[in-house]
Structure 1
Amino acid sequence: MVQARLRQLFWGACFGMCCLILSNWVGAEDVSVELSGSGQHVIKIAVPGFLAQGTASDVLAAELAPVLQNDLRISGFFDTLENEAVRIEGIHRDDGSIGEIQFQQWADLGARLLVKGVYQFQGNALILECRVYDTLGGDFILGKRYEGDMTQVRAIIHRFADEIIEKMTGERGISSSKIIFVSNRNGAKELFQIDFDGANLTQLTRDNSLVMSPAVSPDGKKVVYTSYKENNPDLYLMDLGTKKSESIAMYPGLNFAADWSPDGNTLALTLSKDGNPELYLLDLASKNLTRLTKNKWNDVSASWAPNGRELVYTADNIGAPHLYIMERTGSNPRRVSFHGSYNVSPSWSPTGDMIAFASSMDGDFNIYTMQTNGDMLRRLTSGIGRNEDPAWSPDGRYIAFQSTRDGTNSIYIMNADGSNQRKLTDNKGLDLSPTWVR
């Protein structure tokens, strides 16, 4: 009942972890929340500074709210009040606990939802309690209690942002997700990982060579990539927990552009061991290969359909690269892109109904989406620079891509309709080939 009513609120308005313990707040009640038709596209939410209890430092309080505000804004579902607007007197008790809340004051500022949070330390453990209220009626909508250590502060806030998004939309948010990409910021092209909000940049490989075309497994625990560290473009698999890598395809010539099947058991990849680049399936358990294409032209960059029965890929059999779909057996290949003369890097959406790709059909490289039969073509990016290598988020609501619009290749994220484009990485390197960690 609560979920249905809250989803009605949202759609009417717009149209683990180690040592981390998550539990439902005791006392949540069924809440009827509705919005009258107002033409709003997002829900206005207030996120004032979190309160420190006991001996906890106020310094941490300044870090928590901005992270949550940013997560909610990035989601595209919420608009947050400016910091100046959330400084209302008389809403907390002197002891730092959540006291009587003046809901009408928040509603008068335009906030429909209100987040209140307190935190304290018990030994080395950080205890964080968060609540969400409806300001119109003062109803309690969501409450969570988290326990972790100081290294998990941002992860905890990301988790709470995802809880809010799920409560309001019925779908889990992806604030806790990460993106892996290639960068030469430390010299050689290596794999790096970054949080969804652009924080916590971490280097994954140290091959001191050329690394390319990463792809993350469906369970988010492994990444395959191509590396030249043995002087040939060979395919490697890294365990993201241990950061240990092993070679899984070292055939003569190209071993690259791998993509995981939805069940995580098979890789579709491009090999040139028999001449020109062709598509193969690699069974990860047996290491057996199945050849899918056998042509005089180039077949590359396969991407799995979420049903595991089809693949979209790029072929240049008519003299220019276009997109094709075939069965996982290699049968029934058919062309699905019919505009422009250069269409590459297809990525099948997790929802199964759309394909994102890069194209130069308007003279500049941009990101497009289309239905799987080629209909409903839509350009998502425009302007200066090249926009390439689209990668869907696990929930299909966002697309990561690389762009040179600011003078060098950087990683960007946008909503699946092209809105809310934002830069994820800085200009400290050539950043390429994003892929989401689920």
Structure 2
Amino acid sequence: MLERILKWMAVSLVAAAAAHADMTIEVVGVGANQYPIAIAPFQSEQGQQQPVTPIVGDDLARSGLFKVIGAGDLAPVPYAPEQLNHAALSGRGAQTALIGRVEPAADGSFSVKFWLVDLASRQVLLAHEKLAKPAQMRRVAHQIADMVYEKITGEPGAFSSRIAYVLKQGKRYQLQVADADGYGAQTVVASNEPIMSPKWSRDGGRLAYVSFEDKKPIVYAQELSSGRRWRVAAFKGSNSAPAWSPDGSTLAVTLTREGGSQLFLVPVQGGTPRRLTQTGEINTEPFFTPDGSSILFTSDRGGTPQVYRMPVSGGQAERLTFSGSYNASPKISPDGKTLTFITQSGGFRVAVMDLASRQVQVLTDTSADDSPSFSPNGRMILYETEQGGRGVLHAVSRDGRVKQRLKVQAGDVRQPAWGPMVR
């Protein structure tokens, strides 16, 4: 409780997690009805440094919505629609089959051709070709999984996205970025002082975060491609809780320069801040609505931490949460229809609110949750919690049915932020 109070007072130091170890994801809850899909190893992928089909199968299985049925033991293994043994795969319970082949090109790249076939009707649902260099094969696999996911569910996939999080091992803090499946973790910035509150720009090319490297909280922005970083907010007092405007031109931040914790808008390249909130001692954790017209935030103006919404142009704030004495860390889904936040209900748990009906559902059974973040398709919510005294990352579906644990080898991992799709 003390740690959460310190965070609420905007002076907590983030515990975070491990060096360069990739994460592994364990599915601990699945959808009510899993869709059965057979996946055969793509022709010639066995010789690749990164075979495609294991990644596709892991992506789909990890979603909790698919039951992946192996087809590598068929004789012969099908590599094209006309080679499919529909009866054999249907007998295993599959409804569709994913097959394909990897063909080398003269320039050292590869052509990945694949088909998704409905086994009952024998209709080809997807037929596509992707070109990739050897180092891009993992991304191609995620893209294939996204295409299959969308074709079957009618919703976009999110396997081609990335996540950011803060890691701590010993006294070393690292802001890291990895693929959505935890693979390929890379350190964006490292420090012996705390790093916290990473937030993605909508285009996925920049991160904003808070660093204590100068012995006080300062908001930085950083380009991922070049590594260029700069101070956005380094005013007197505390500078914290950055949030990107949808167009990437502005950051909403929490500053104490004028007393209390108040929300301000600052040009992303730095400049004169414009104050938004005028009442309450603590106003923090801003988050823009997808259309950029409003900001959600946490405020104590009603006596306890609650979630509010106000126009970016300024004006009256509307209170959104009323149940319980603690509701904080608001994020809104990409479609603007669902709010996720942390509520105090037998512990601190991830909850969602349907903004049309204002109905609230608590999703998690953990009790020390924080920092919820929607996937780019709005299907999953990534968040931090505690296990064995360590910070760990979990994910839960918007309906609460699918649950995942993201495991790292050592250290604390906290402050997750799910980024946009990688194009």
- TM-score bracket for the superposition, by shorter chain length: 0.7 to 0.9
1:50 matched to 2:42? The reply is yes
Structure 1 position 274, deviation (Å): 1.6
Moved more, 241-250 or 142-151: 142-151
Structure 1 position 91, deviation (Å): 4.0
Structure 1 position 97, deviation (Å): 7.1
Structure 2 match to 1:114? 97
**Does the C-alpha gap of structure 1 residues 61 and 133 become closer, same or farther in structure 2, counting only changes over 3 Å?**
farther
CA contact (8 A) 1:115 1:131 kept: yes
Superposed CA deviations along residues 405-424 of structure 1, whole A, max 9, x for unmatched, are 45421122221112211122
Question: Structure 2 matches for 1:348-363, cutoff 5 A?
Answer: 348-360=332-344, 362-363=345-346
Structure 1 position 306, deviation (Å): 1.5
TM-score (normalizing by structure 1) = 0.83
Structure 1 position 377, deviation (Å): 0.9
Question: Structure 2 matches for 1:311-322, cutoff 5 A?
Answer: 311-322=295-306
**Does the C-alpha gap of structure 1 residues 122 and 307 become closer, same or farther in structure 2, counting only changes over 3 Å?**
closer
The code of the aligned residue for 2:54 comes to P
Superposed CA deviations along residues 101-120 of structure 1, whole A, max 9, x for unmatched, are 21111111111110112113
Structure 1 match to 2:320? 336
The code of the aligned residue for 1:72 comes to L
Q: Which has the higher contact order (CA 8 A, sep 6+)?
A: 2
Superposed CA deviations along residues 98-142 of structure 1, whole A, max 9, x for unmatched, are 762211111111111101121133352233221111111222221
Aligned match of 2:329 in 345, 349, 365? Answer: 345
1:252 matched to 2:236? The reply is yes
**Does the C-alpha gap of structure 1 residues 372 and 288 become closer, same or farther in structure 2, counting only changes over 3 Å?**
farther
| Structure 2 unaligned blocks of 5 or more | 1-30
Structure 2 match to 1:162? 146
CA contact (8 A) 1:91 1:102 kept: no
Question: Structure 2 matches for 1:14-29, cutoff 5 A?
Answer: none
Question: Structure 2 matches for 1:15-414, cutoff 5 A?
Answer: 41-52=33-44, 58-60=46-48, 63-81=51-69, 83=70, 86-92=72-78, 100-123=83-106, 124-185=108-169, 187-284=171-268, 287-360=271-344, 362-372=345-355, 375-383=358-366, 385-405=367-387, 407-414=389-396
Tell me the distance in 2 between the aligned counterparts of 1:406 and 1:171.
36
CA contact (8 A) 2:232 2:270 kept: no
The code of the aligned residue for 1:101 comes to L
Structure 1 position 355, deviation (Å): 1.2
The two structures, once aligned, show a CA RMSD in angstroms of 2.3
Tell me the distance in 2 between the aligned counterparts of 1:374 and 1:250.
40
Bigger radius of gyration:
1
The code of the aligned residue for 1:174 comes to A
Moved more, 275-284 or 401-410: 401-410
Which structure features the higher share of strand residues?
A: 2
Percent same amino acid among aligned pairs?
27
The code of the aligned residue for 2:95 comes to R
**Does the C-alpha gap of structure 1 residues 97 and 299 become closer, same or farther in structure 2, counting only changes over 3 Å?**
closer
| Structure 1 unaligned blocks of 5 or more | 1-38
Superposed CA deviations along residues 355-406 of structure 1, whole A, max 9, x for unmatched, are 111122x2311101113378211000014x4121111112211111011145
Matched residue count: 389
Tell me the distance in 2 between the aligned counterparts of 1:238 and 1:202.
14
Tell me the distance in 2 between the aligned counterparts of 1:374 and 1:212.
33
**Does the C-alpha gap of structure 1 residues 292 and 409 become closer, same or farther in structure 2, counting only changes over 3 Å?**
same
Tell me the distance in 2 between the aligned counterparts of 1:290 and 1:308.
16
The code of the aligned residue for 2:386 comes to T
Moved more, 103-112 or 140-149: 140-149
CA contact (8 A) 1:359 1:368 kept: yes
The code of the aligned residue for 2:198 comes to P
1:423 matched to 2:411? The reply is no
Tell me the distance in 1 between the aligned counterparts of 2:91 and 2:178.
38
Tell me the distance in 2 between the aligned counterparts of 1:304 and 1:267.
9
Tell me the distance in 1 between the aligned counterparts of 2:72 and 2:91.
11
SS in 2 for 1:419: coil
CA contact (8 A) 2:287 2:295 kept: yes
Tell me the distance in 2 between the aligned counterparts of 1:61 and 1:111.
29
**Does the C-alpha gap of structure 1 residues 233 and 373 become closer, same or farther in structure 2, counting only changes over 3 Å?**
farther
